[in-house]
Amino acid sequence: MKAKKKPITSETKSPSKPPRAGRPRSAESHDAILAAALKLLHERGYRSVTIEGIASEAAVGKQTIYRWWRSKAEVILEAFARYTAGRIAVPDSGNLQTDLQVFLTQAFDGLTQESGEVVRGLMSEALIDPDFAEAMRDIFIASRRSALRDILFKGIQRGELASDVDIELIIDLIYGPMWYRLLNKHAPLNPRFAKQISEMIASKLTRSD
Amino acid sequence: MKAKKKPITSETKSPSKPPRAGRPRSAESHDAILAAALKLLHERGYRSVTIEGIASEAAVGKQTIYRWWRSKAEVILEAFARYTAGRIAVPDSGNLQTDLQVFLTQAFDGLTQESGEVVRGLMSEALIDPDFAEAMRDIFIASRRSALRDILFKGIQRGELASDVDIELIIDLIYGPMWYRLLNKHAPLNPRFAKQISEMIASKLTRSD
Amino acid sequence: MKAKKKPITSETKSPSKPPRAGRPRSAESHDAILAAALKLLHERGYRSVTIEGIASEAAVGKQTIYRWWRSKAEVILEAFARYTAGRIAVPDSGNLQTDLQVFLTQAFDGLTQESGEVVRGLMSEALIDPDFAEAMRDIFIASRRSALRDILFKGIQRGELASDVDIELIIDLIYGPMWYRLLNKHAPLNPRFAKQISEMIASKLTRSD
Amino acid sequence: MKAKKKPITSETKSPSKPPRAGRPRSAESHDAILAAALKLLHERGYRSVTIEGIASEAAVGKQTIYRWWRSKAEVILEAFARYTAGRIAVPDSGNLQTDLQVFLTQAFDGLTQESGEVVRGLMSEALIDPDFAEAMRDIFIASRRSALRDILFKGIQRGELASDVDIELIIDLIYGPMWYRLLNKHAPLNPRFAKQISEMIASKLTRSD
DNA sequence: GACTAACCGAGACGGTACGTCCCGTCTTAAG
DNA sequence: CTTAAGACGGGACGTACCGTCTCGGTTAGTC
């Protein structure tokens, strides 16, 4: 765990530890900050969002932001995570290739347009700031890998995949191409690509069945 | 090509155009700038490099930098490209999987330690600045895709691959996982990974041989 | 007097009014605040003392300070007044010039080193804040003028001074040069200067004796 | 002299030393800053003037102010010095007491209302910041002492004063009361006070003539 | 050989945002 | 009802760099 460091996301102290004294954290400010971050993100794009802009938009002191987050990237990460919460649906069609294709198509949809730009902005930060990269992994990457892991695990239970397959490797092979296109924009993240990846993975791993 | 825009890398006027009058570009300054950029890059990391820092380190006016490059990212890109020039060797063992494995192992080697950090820094900029992203694709990405394309093309010539295989897709499936691990650092870019990717690609595409 | 405004110095509610219910004022906190103020004053100088610093040093809530004083200057004024309480001795040698000289020499002594710096800090605040200036006059200036007034009055009683002399003017003529040197530091507040002022005043006003 | 320190007032390098390289200082900005400082000083008072306010009013970057002055006080000092330049007229009536009275009356006039507030603000800063105090002495105090010195010197030449009189002491005895009333505001700086001081000084020093 | 044009270093310029400090107010739980 | 604690909105600080500009001073061609 992280121990003494500032928590990645702004949680008002763990509920078990009583905060003891002092004015408690303002939920209104917290929400206003995240809402302002999201608004500016859509209006101006990741690069043009600033801490000062968020503070001003949220009618909040800058210090209140710095008290709970370490950088603009972390504010935006939390805002974006809240915004996309619950959007990761795990399909269950009974067939691995179909599950993958549906899942990836849906994932690609979530990376088009503005959302894609936001994710690119967040990753830009993560590439440069190790602390934030950790936050990004914990909050953003992990949940998406977990969803994919579920799909693959169901494939194993169904017998479509060998039980000794290296799931983490498969996940890298699937998400890798997605990120590669998201980063480089040399080709689109369209349903066709989702199908190609799914077909590749499923046919390779299940051919001997 | 880019038409009227400033060239991506700093080329002293196209040789065909008459050089006109005036003092010619100083090669010393050019070299000093790239050397300073590289030095600061290794000393302080991508994020902490600034145009002012480079100018100061190179004992050069800021304007001299702005005259030939559009951003710090482009200076660094050129410096790094020069630094890594000629490092892309295309193996030719007569076997696709072996070629891939050798090539990837060597590519991964070039992304360890500081070089990996530099590439991460460059990609961080590319994610946020479309102009730079284009430069990055042209200079960095394209040459690496091209090398992989050669390898795959030789596979086709040898009959290991079907002639109608989608080469660009295959390249995405190979480079994707590499970038994904480079970005997220959740797992190492080691020879084992090179082997796993190579095996996956080769066995899938050549199984019917 | 000040009528409805918050009292200049912190008096625990007038003793005649019934104390009402609730937790009584903490004398410990009061003392701790003044002690902390004095300590920081000597350690860091007037300008660097802050309310937050005093609160922290005294292990007291900021509100507790704001409840009893209106500004940092007033806290420091009270702390300093307490610190220098009873230091104003009125000499009585039977001779005006001697009395003046003794009194001024002693006054100058009290303005050397740190105490002088503190007085300069307090005056700095008074110059800018009218409310505090009033407090300063009431607490600091008035008592010193009063002492001088006593000395001059005794001179009149002794017949050394004419009974219609403008005492307040004389006081200005005496204290003025002292403050002038304290402010500008262009020359020292030494016994020689005390003697020169005393001689000037006494000889002018008593020459026809 | 001051040697390596930043000059007290913002002089574009001594005219004899050629600045050698770089864009020269902008006279427009310099003037705009001083004009803005003066304007804000009259509109809002010393305490409410801020560096940011001056920069904004002058349409100038903050750094341009910090490049040439060390504090808000120094900007205001220069603006005020320029504003009051040439206002110190040395009377020459042929009589010491008259000269003093005229001079002081005029000096008191220059310390009424806003100007008095500005001087109080400047002195407030000088009391707390030794560097600024030096600037204040050099620019403000010195010229005024010098004028008074001229008056007294003419008195010596005329034979009204003994040639061995301690001029610096007399100056302290004259300016002291003025500052004392300016600081404490316990009595007005009116013509009557000018007359009282002049009479006191002149009669004491010239009685034996 | 002077003229001219583009280069060069230096560094000041207007400007944006940073992250920090401290203000004076407020909101808790504890006493 | 006071207290310690500490979060809050807010204002200004002084700094770092941005990308532009304006100097004096090269350094080539072209007249």
CA distance B176 to chain A (A): 4
Q: In sequence order, which residues have a C-beta less than 8 Å from that of residue D58 and are 6 or more positions away?
A: D29, D32, D33, D35, D36
CB burial class (10 A; 0-12, 13-18, 19+) of residue A43? exposed
> C-alpha angle with apex A129: A127 to A130, nearest 5 degrees?
95
pLDDT of residue C20: 52
Q: pLDDT exceeding 70 applies to what percent of chain C?
A: 87
Decide if B196 and A168 are in contact by the 8 Å CB cutoff: no
Number of A–B residue contacts, CB under 8 Å: 101
Test the D interface: residue of C184, C196, C198, C199 with most D CBs within 10 Å: C184
| Residues on chain B bordering chain A, Cβ-to-Cβ distance under 8 angstroms | 45-47, 120-121, 123-129, 133, 137, 141, 166, 168-169, 172-173, 175-181, 183-187, 193, 196-197, 200, 203-204, 207
Asked whether at least 3 C-beta pairs link A and B within 8 Å, the reply is yes
Comparing D97 with D129, which gets the higher pLDDT?
Answer: D97
Element (H, E) at B150: helix B142-158
Element (H, E) at C191: helix C191-206
pLDDT of residue A200: 92
Say which of A129, A137, A179 has its CB closest to residue B179.
A179
Nearest C-alpha in C relative to D204: C204
CA closest to C1' of E9 belongs to: B61
* Tokens 């050698």 -> residue: D20
Give the distance, in angstroms, between residue A185 CA and nucleotide E6 C1': 39
pLDDT bin (cut points 50, 70, 90) of residue D209 is: very low
Give yes or no for a contact between D72 and D49, defined as CB atoms under 8 angstroms apart.
Answer: yes
* Chain segment D68-101, per-residue pLDDT in tens: 999 999 999 999 999 988 888 999 999 999 999 9
C-alpha atoms less than 13 angstroms from C-alpha of D6 in its C-beta half-sphere: 12
Mean pLDDT of chain D: 89
pLDDT of residue D44: 93
Asked whether at least 3 C-beta pairs link B and C within 8 Å, the reply is no
**Residue A39 to residue A31: CA distance in whole angstroms:** 12
Compute the residue count for chain A: 209
Say which of C166, C176, C203 has its CB closest to residue D204.
C203
pLDDT of residue A17: 54
* Tokens 């953003």 -> residue: A140
pLDDT > 60? residue A170: yes
Give yes or no for a contact between D69 and D75, defined as CB atoms under 8 angstroms apart.
Answer: yes
Amino acid code (one letter) for A2: K
pLDDT > 80? residue C35: yes
pLDDT of residue D27: 96
Measure Cα distances from A181 to A111, B133, B180 in Å. Answer: 11, 12, 11
Which bases along strand E come within 7 Å of a protein CB atom?
Answer: 4-31
| Residues on chain D bordering chain C, Cβ-to-Cβ distance under 8 angstroms | 46-47, 120-121, 123-129, 133, 137, 141, 166, 168-169, 172-173, 175-181, 183-187, 193, 196-197, 200, 203-204, 207
Residue A168, token pair as written in the block = 């983490």
Question: For residue B141, what is the DSSP state?
Answer: I
**Residue B50 to residue B34: CA distance in whole angstroms:** 13
Decide if B179 and A175 are in contact by the 8 Å CB cutoff: no
pLDDT > 60? residue B208: no
Decide if A168 and B175 are in contact by the 8 Å CB cutoff: no
User: For D129, phi and psi rounded to 5 degrees?
Assistant: -125, 105
* pLDDT, average across residues A178-189: 95
pLDDT of residue A19: 58
* Chain segment D46-71, per-residue pLDDT in tens: 999 999 999 999 999 999 999 999 99
* Chain segment A91-127, per-residue pLDDT in tens: 999 999 999 999 999 999 999 878 899 999 999 999 9
Comparing D12 with C52, which gets the higher pLDDT?
Answer: C52
Closest CA to D193 of A155, C173, B39, C116: C173
β strands within chain D, DSSP E: none
**Residue D77 to residue D121: CA distance in whole angstroms:** 10
Comparing C10 with B76, which gets the higher pLDDT?
Answer: B76
Amino acid code (one letter) for D182: L
Measure Cα distances from A158 to A147, A151, B203, C113, D100 in Å. Answer: 17, 11, 24, 88, 109
pLDDT of residue B11: 56
Q: In sequence order, which residues have a C-beta less than 8 Å from that of residue B37 and are 6 or more positions away?
A: B49, B54, B75, B76, B79
Decide if A129 and B181 are in contact by the 8 Å CB cutoff: no
CA-CA-CA-CA torsion for C93, C98, C102, C103, nearest 10 degrees? 90
- Nearest nucleotide from residue D20 CA, by C1' atom: F24
pLDDT of residue A206: 81
**Residue A107 to residue D49: CA distance in whole angstroms:** 55
Decide if A127 and B123 are in contact by the 8 Å CB cutoff: yes
Q: Of C123-127, D54-58, D189-193, where does mean pLDDT reach its minimum?
A: C123-127
Q: In sequence order, which residues have a C-beta less than 8 Å from that of residue C48 and are 6 or more positions away?
A: C40
Measure Cα distances from B193 to A11, B150, B196, C95 in Å. Answer: 37, 21, 5, 103
Test the D interface: residue of C76, C172, C200, C209 with most D CBs within 10 Å: C172
Give the chains touching C; criterion: ≥3 Cβ pairs < 8 Å: D
Give the distance, in angstroms, between residue D49 CA and nucleotide E23 C1': 17
* Tokens 């007294």 -> residue: D152
Decide if B127 and A121 are in contact by the 8 Å CB cutoff: yes
* Chain segment B112-167, per-residue pLDDT in tens: 877 898 899 999 989 988 888 988 998 899 999 999 999 999 999 999 999 999 99
pLDDT of residue C123: 93
Comparing D3 with C123, which gets the higher pLDDT?
Answer: C123
**Residue B95 to residue B12: CA distance in whole angstroms:** 43
CA distance A180 to chain B (A): 5
CA closest to C1' of F24 belongs to: D21
Residue A20, token pair as written in the block = 């003891």
* Chain segment B183-194, per-residue pLDDT in tens: 999 999 999 999
| CA A35 to mean position of chain CA atoms | 18
Test the A interface: residue of B127, B200, B205 with most A CBs within 10 Å: B127
pLDDT of residue D39: 96
Residue D35, token pair as written in the block = 């004009």
Give the chains touching D; criterion: ≥3 Cβ pairs < 8 Å: C
Give the chains touching B; criterion: ≥3 Cβ pairs < 8 Å: A
CA closest to C1' of E31 belongs to: C23
Decide if A177 and B176 are in contact by the 8 Å CB cutoff: yes
Decide if A126 and B47 are in contact by the 8 Å CB cutoff: no
pLDDT of residue A3: 36
| Residues on chain A bordering chain B, Cβ-to-Cβ distance under 8 angstroms | 46-47, 120-121, 123-129, 133, 137, 141, 166, 168-169, 172-173, 175-181, 183-187, 193, 196-197, 200, 203-204, 207
Q: pLDDT exceeding 70 applies to what percent of chain A?
A: 89
Which bases along strand F come within 7 Å of a protein CB atom?
Answer: 1-30
* Tokens 């069609």 -> residue: A93
pLDDT > 50? residue A4: no
Decide if D124 and C120 are in contact by the 8 Å CB cutoff: no
Number of C–D residue contacts, CB under 8 Å: 102
pLDDT bin (cut points 50, 70, 90) of residue C12 is: very low
Say which of A123, A169, A193 has its CB closest to residue B183.
A123
pLDDT of residue D40: 96
Q: Long-range contacts of range D52-61, CB-CB < 8 Å, 24 or more positions apart?
A: D58/D29, D58/D32, D58/D33, D59/D32, D60/D29, D60/D32, D60/D33, D60/D36
Give the distance, in angstroms, between residue C79 CA and nucleotide E31 C1': 28
C26-45 exposure pattern, b = at least 16 Cβ within 10 A, e = fewer = eeebbebbbbbbbbbbeeee
* pLDDT, average across residues C83-91: 86
pLDDT bin (cut points 50, 70, 90) of residue B97 is: very high
* Chain segment A128-165, per-residue pLDDT in tens: 888 889 889 999 999 999 999 999 999 999 999 999 99
Give the distance, in angstroms, between residue C52 CA and nucleotide E22 C1': 8
User: For C164, phi and psi rounded to 5 degrees?
Assistant: -100, 15
Q: For chain D, how big is the Rg over CA atoms in Å?
A: 20
pLDDT of residue C16: 43
User: For C33, phi and psi rounded to 5 degrees?
Assistant: -65, -50
* pLDDT, average across residues C189-208: 89
Give the distance, in angstroms, between residue A20 CA and nucleotide F7 C1': 13
CB burial class (10 A; 0-12, 13-18, 19+) of residue D1? exposed
* pLDDT, average across residues C115-127: 90
Comparing D115 with B208, which gets the higher pLDDT?
Answer: D115
B36-75 exposure pattern, b = at least 16 Cβ within 10 A, e = fewer = bbbbbbeeeebeebebebbbebbebeeebbeebbbbbbbb
CA distance A205 to chain B (A): 9
CA distance C186 to chain D (A): 8
Q: Long-range contacts of range B205-208, CB-CB < 8 Å, 24 or more positions apart?
A: B205/B96, B205/B160, B205/B161, B205/B162, B205/B165, B205/B170, B206/B96, B206/B97, B206/B155, B206/B160, B206/B161, B207/A207
pLDDT of residue A46: 92
* pLDDT, average across residues C148-166: 94
CA closest to C1' of E27 belongs to: A23
pLDDT of residue C5: 44
User: What's the count of helices (H) and strands (E) in chain B, helices before strands?
Assistant: 10, 0
Closest CA to B104 of B199, B191, B168: B191
What does pTM read for this prediction? 0.87
Mean pLDDT of chain C: 86
CA-CA-CA-CA torsion for A186, A189, A194, A199, nearest 10 degrees? -10
pLDDT > 80? residue D7: no
